[in-house]
Amino acid sequence: MAASICVARIGAAHGVRGAVKLWTFTQDPLAVTRYGLLTTKDGARQFEVASARQAGDHLVATLKGITSRDEAERLNGLELYVAREKLPATEEDEYYHADLIGLAAVTAAGAPLGRVVAIHNFGAGDIIEIAPPDGATLLLPFTNAVVPTVDLAGGRVVIELPEEIEGHDPAAA
């Protein structure tokens, strides 16, 4: 399967006619209606959004072929993917999370820190998760101050570690 990106997650059933709550991960939530077929990660199942409307922080959507509440309930939790080439190009200093996952993380001096394993957002902004070869993962704010350089072609991100993580004692400075 070609490179694909998760664009939505199906939530609980909504009503009795097969509609579902749909949590989208796109800048424009309704963009998922324009991508055509959405697939599960393994590509085994395909869905097409027949209709969708905004409902607070999610969409209420109907999927072609899903006509009952029971069918909709069985889809709860499924993530939906689209081929990377169907997505719009990013602007400068914008990245798809999938483009960052797996990049090497290094300090400004070039010392290896590990690999980017995830980008999270718990409501207060993006967090970059870096897994070192040994030890606990690092969760750092994904800001220009902490991540001043993203080099997709070079396969790395440069991380400016806060002094308390670097092992420096701010009081000793």
pLDDT of 56-90, one tens digit each?
Answer: 999 999 999 999 999 999 999 999 999 988 888 88
Residue type, 120: H
The pLDDT value recorded for residue 68 is 97
pLDDT of 7-31, one tens digit each?
Answer: 999 999 999 999 999 999 888 999 9
Three-state SS at 130: strand
Give yes or no on whether 4-85 and 97-167 have one common fold. Answer: no
Phi, psi of 165 (to 5 degrees): -85, -35
Q: Whole-angstrom distance between the N-terminal and C-terminal Cα of the chain?
A: 53
pLDDT of 114-141, one tens digit each?
Answer: 999 999 888 788 899 999 988 899 999 9
The dotted CATH code for 97-167 is 2.30.30.240
Q: Which residues pair with 130 in a beta bridge?
A: 116, 138
> What architecture is domain 4-85?
Beta Barrel (2.40)
Domain parsing of the chain, residue ranges: 4-85, 97-167
Which residue in 60, 31, 67, 63 sits closest to 50, CA to CA?
63
Q: Is the pTM of this model over 0.85?
A: no
CA distances in angstroms from 118 to 58, 151, 166, listed in the order given = 22, 17, 21
Q: Is the pLDDT of residue 169 over 70?
A: no
> In the 8-state DSSP scheme, what is residue 171?
G
